């Protein structure tokens, strides 16, 4: 299963960036096993579940447990290789030798992980740009990373603005909401594995944060939703394919009316997304523009400011 090993490597790298990648690893491991169950049952094996438990589960543990762990540890290579990393020498050895060096390095690494966990687990400080997970799909509270007001430096306007706003393209985000609702109906009606896979991945990027919001009152921001974005785009892509319809031509060699209309709708949506991004680009890239133009790009007015 080389692709599952590749998936394990990617999941380990994801956890190296942010620990929330662990939720994806668990979900993808469970989904992979369910696919194995379904495949064995589909070919008519007498004991599909026992076969999967004895043959597929051990391989799954390698792909989705051992491989991600090795990949995660590989992201710490630079930290282990230097003596100047943060917390690198937390455990000061009283004895010398390779054995003590390895043990002390491991203990320092575990302490570092614990510090990271306790810091984020107790993060409850209020922040003007904090937001709750339920609001992320609606882009209600983006994060202003940079803003500077200047005067008489942007053409004929007196008041000028320079900003970097951490926000998604509304046409894509709101279109994804409609696509995800459509995928729920699609999966319930047909059990299509593609719809189920995208919905599960999106849920793993979003739902775990509700626990931290309600159980721990943790400080959170819209950019925590970034891992959801690829699956939002996949949801849009699946629905675009459904709108266009299957390939093929009519008996007289012409494209079916559905494909013509579907392609026009999907093309128009893609063009609208590009225009929307072009419109927002000045406030994503610190471009100096008149204050009135900056204000016009604040979709939800006070919530985006």
Pick the range with the lowest mean pLDDT from 127-131, 158-162, 252-256, 298-302. 252-256
Pick the range with the lowest mean pLDDT from 88-92, 126-130, 204-208, 213-217. 88-92
The pLDDT assigned to 199 comes to 97
* Residue 155, both tokens: 């053409």
The pLDDT assigned to 100 comes to 62
Q: Higher pLDDT residue, 123 or 161?
A: 161
Return the top range by mean pLDDT from 46-55, 153-162, 253-262: 153-162
The predicted-structure confidence for 229-248, as pLDDT tens digits, reads as follows 999 999 999 999 999 988 77
Strands 289-290 and 157-166: antiparallel
The predicted-structure confidence for 107-141, as pLDDT tens digits, reads as follows 899 999 999 888 877 788 889 999 999 999 999 99
Percent residues over pLDDT 70 in the chain: 94
Alpha-carbon gap, residue 152 to 135, rounded angstroms: 37
Residue 28 has pLDDT above 70, yes or no: yes
The pLDDT assigned to 76 comes to 94
Residue 85 has pLDDT above 90, yes or no: no
Helices 21-42, 193-206: inter-axial angle, 10-degree rounding: 160
**Alpha-carbon torsion 259, 261, 265, 267, what sign?**
positive
Confidence label for 94 from pLDDT (cuts 50, 70 and 90): low
* Residue 275, both tokens: 């225009």
Contacts of 122 (CB under 8 A, 6+ apart): none
Alpha-carbon gap, residue 47 to 42, rounded angstroms: 11
Confidence label for 102 from pLDDT (cuts 50, 70 and 90): confident
Mean local confidence (pLDDT), 209-232: 90
Residue 95 has pLDDT above 60, yes or no: no
Residue 253 has pLDDT above 80, yes or no: no
Mean local confidence (pLDDT), 141-162: 91
Alpha-carbon gap, residue 119 to 130, rounded angstroms: 17
Percent residues over pLDDT 90 in the chain: 63
The pLDDT assigned to 86 comes to 87
């Amino acid at each position: 299963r080389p692709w599952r090993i590749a998936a394990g490597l990617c999941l380990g790298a994801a956890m190296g960036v942010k620990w929330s990648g662990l939720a994806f690893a668990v979900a993808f491991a469970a989904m992979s096993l369910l696919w194995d169950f379904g495949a064995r049952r589909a070919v008519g094996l007498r004991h599909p579940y026992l076969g999967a438990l004895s043959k597929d589960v051990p391989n799954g543990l390698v792909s989705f447990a051992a491989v991600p762990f090795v990949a995660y540890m590989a992201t710490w290579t630079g930290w282990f290789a230097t003596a100047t990393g943060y917390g690198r020498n937390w455990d000061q050895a009283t004895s010398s030798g390779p054995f003590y060096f390895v043990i002390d390095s491991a203990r320092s690494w575990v302490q570092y992980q614990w510090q990271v966990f306790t810091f984020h687990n107790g993060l409850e400080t209020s922040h003007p740009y904090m937001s709750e997970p339920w609001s992320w799909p609606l882009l209600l509270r983006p994060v202003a990373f940079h803003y500077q007001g200047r005067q008489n430096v942007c053409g004929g306007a007196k008041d000028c603005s320079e900003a970097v706003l951490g926000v998604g393209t509304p046409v894509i985000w709101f279109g994804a909401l409609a696509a995800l609702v459509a995928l729920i109906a699609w999966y319930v009606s047909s059990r299509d594995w593609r719809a189920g896979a995208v919905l599960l991945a999106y849920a793993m990027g979003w739902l775990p944060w509700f626990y931290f919001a309600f159980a721990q009152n943790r400080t959170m921001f819209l950019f925590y939703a970034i891992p959801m974005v690829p699956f939002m785009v996949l949801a849009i892509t699946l629905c675009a394919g459904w709108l266009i319809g299957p390939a093929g031509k009519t008996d007289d060699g012409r494209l079916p009316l559905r494909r013509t209309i579907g392609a026009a709708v999907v093309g128009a949506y893609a063009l609208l997304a590009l225009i929307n991004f072009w419109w927002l680009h000045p406030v994503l890239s610190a471009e100096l523009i008149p204050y009135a133009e900056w204000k016009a790009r604040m979709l939800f007015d006070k919530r985006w400011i």
